[in-house]
Amino acid sequence: MAQEARELAAGTLDPECAGIAESLPESLLKATDDALQAFEEDVRALREPSDEEVFGAIERVVLALNAVDKDDRHGGAGFCTDEREQLCAYIDETLTAHGINVAALAARRGIDRAGITDFWREW
């Protein structure tokens, strides 16, 4: 709670997202974890991947997260701004941890590093 208060005061946490982690339904959290775990497995399986293979893994996780965000079984809950940014950062960090130069990958597509999910992302 104290960390959240500091982030709100600093303007680094969107007020609409404050306290949301505690209020998110378990179904949304589990579905998100499942999508991210599948992504990690996808990336882990890549060996000297082509850009197309990496973007394929990105596309699959983003489409899975789109489905999670829209799923009515979560009682109308979805990803807020802070969570969207965290998900994008997680995708980038996972790729980087597996030896993929995300900046170079994005540059070869003529996009910014932060935009690697934008083509498919609806959240």
In the structure, what pLDDT confidence band is assigned to residue 1 with cuts at 50, 70 and 90? very low
The DSSP symbol for 48 reads: S
- pTM of the entire structure? 0.81
Backbone angles phi, psi at 64, to 5 degrees: -65, -40
In the chain, where the domains are located: 25-115
For 82-103, what is each residue's pLDDT tens digit?
889 999 999 999 999 999 999 9
Distance in angstroms (rounded) separating the CA atoms of residues 118 and 100: 18
